[in-house]
Amino acid sequence: MRANLNDSQQIAKDVSQSPSSLFILWREMIKDKLALISLVVLSCILLIVYGSALFLDQDKIVKVDLLSIYAPPSAEHWLGTDYGGRDILGQLIIGARNSFTIGLLITLLTGFIGLAIGLIAGYYGGIIDNVIMRIIDFILVLPFLMLVIVFVAIVPKYNVFTFILIMSAFLWTGKARLIRAKTLAERELDYVSASKTLGTPDWKIMIREILPNLSSIIIVNLTLNLAGNIGIESGLSYLGFGLPESTPSLGTLVSYATNPDVLQNKWWVWLPASLLILVIMLCINFIGQALKRAADARQRLG
C-alpha cells in the first residue's frame, strides 16, 4: 500500500514536471550513437586542447630553433617541427584552441545579432523590414574576403578580438535573413494573433512565442556555422590574412603544405592539422544533426 502511494506520488511528480529541454537533448544524444561518439570525441579533443594549452608556453613554442628544422617525429618533438624548427604538436594544440575559440565567438556573436535583427524585421514587416533587408543586401554584395583583408591591413592593433569583430560584422547577415524568413512564416499563424488578442506585448511574443518555434532551425544553423566559421578562420590564416604567424592557428599549419616539398615529403607538418579540422567539423555536424531532431518533437528517436 505504502509502495503504491509512493508510486502514485512519484508519477504525479513526473507528470507535473514536463521533461526539461536539456533532458530531451541528452536522451536524443544517447539514442543516436554517431552523435554520442562525436560528442565524446569532440569533448576529448577540446579537453585535451584547452587543458594542455594551459601548460604550454606559447612564446617557447613559436621560438625559432635553427638546429631542428623539419625534424621528423621523435621523442623530443612528437609530431616533428616546421621550417623554423618549431614544435608542431605545441602549435597544433594552441592553434586548435585559437581556431575553435574564434569560431565559437564568431558564431555566438553573429547568432545574437542575426537573431535580434531577423526577428525584428520579420515580426514588424513593412518599412522596418524593407530598410533592414536593404542594409543586409548592401553588406552581402560587398566582397567579403577582400574587405576582411583590407581591414586586417588597416586596423592598427590587430589581434584575436579585432579579427572576431571584423568577421562578425559581415557574417551576421545570413542568419538575419534566415531568421527573418522563418519569422515571416511564423507570425501569420493564429497563435501569434491569439497572443496579440490576449494582450501580450510585442517583445514578449517575439521572444516567448516565436523564438521557441525557431529554436530547431537556429540550433542547426549555429552548429553548422560553428564548423563553417572554424573553416573560414583556418582559410583566412591559410591565405595569410588570419592570425599573425606568432599566434598559431590550424590554417597556418595547413598553409605550410603550399610548399610542394612539405606536401610530398614532410607529412607531419600539415597532415595532423588537416585531420584535426576534418574531425572537429564532422563531430560538430553529427552533433548538430542530433540537436536538430531533439528540437523537433516529431523527429525524435528517444
Summarize as ranges the residues that interact with another protein (CB under 8 A). Answer: 15-18, 189-191, 193-201, 209, 212-213, 215, 297
CB of 236 to another protein, least distance (A): 38
Orientation angle between helical segments 160-187 and 144-154, nearest 10 degrees? 140
DSSP helix/strand/coil, 87: strand
For residue 292, give the 3-state DSSP assignment.
helix
Cβ nearer to another protein, comparing 205 with 281: 205
The answer to whether 202 and 123 are in contact (CB under 8 A) is yes
CB-nearer residue toward another protein: 52 or 215? 215
- Quote the CA–CA distance of 289 and 268 in Å, as a whole number: 32
What the block records as the C-alpha cell of 88 is 608542431
Least distance from another protein to the Cβ atom of residue 150, Å? 37
Q: What's the closest the beta carbon of residue 92 comes to another protein, in angstroms? A: 42
Query: Residue 194 or 278: which CB sits closer to another protein?
Result: 194
Q: How far apart are CA 231 and CA 256, in angstroms?
A: 16
Strand partners, 81: 87
Q: Give whichever of 127 and 198 is closer to another protein, judged by the CB atom.
A: 198
Start-to-end CA span in the chain (Å): 33
The residue (of 147 and 181) whose beta carbon lies closer to another protein is 181
3-state secondary structure of 98: helix
| Shortest CB 197 distance to another protein, Å | 5
Contact (Cβ atoms closer than 8 angstroms) between residue 78 and residue 93: no
Q: Which is nearer to another protein, 12 or 69 (CB)?
A: 12
Report in angstroms how near the CB of residue 20 gets to another protein at its nearest: 12
Q: How far is the CB of 213 from another protein (least distance, A)?
A: 6
How far CA 16 is from CA of 7, 12, 19, 27, 255, in Å, comes to: 14, 6, 9, 19, 56
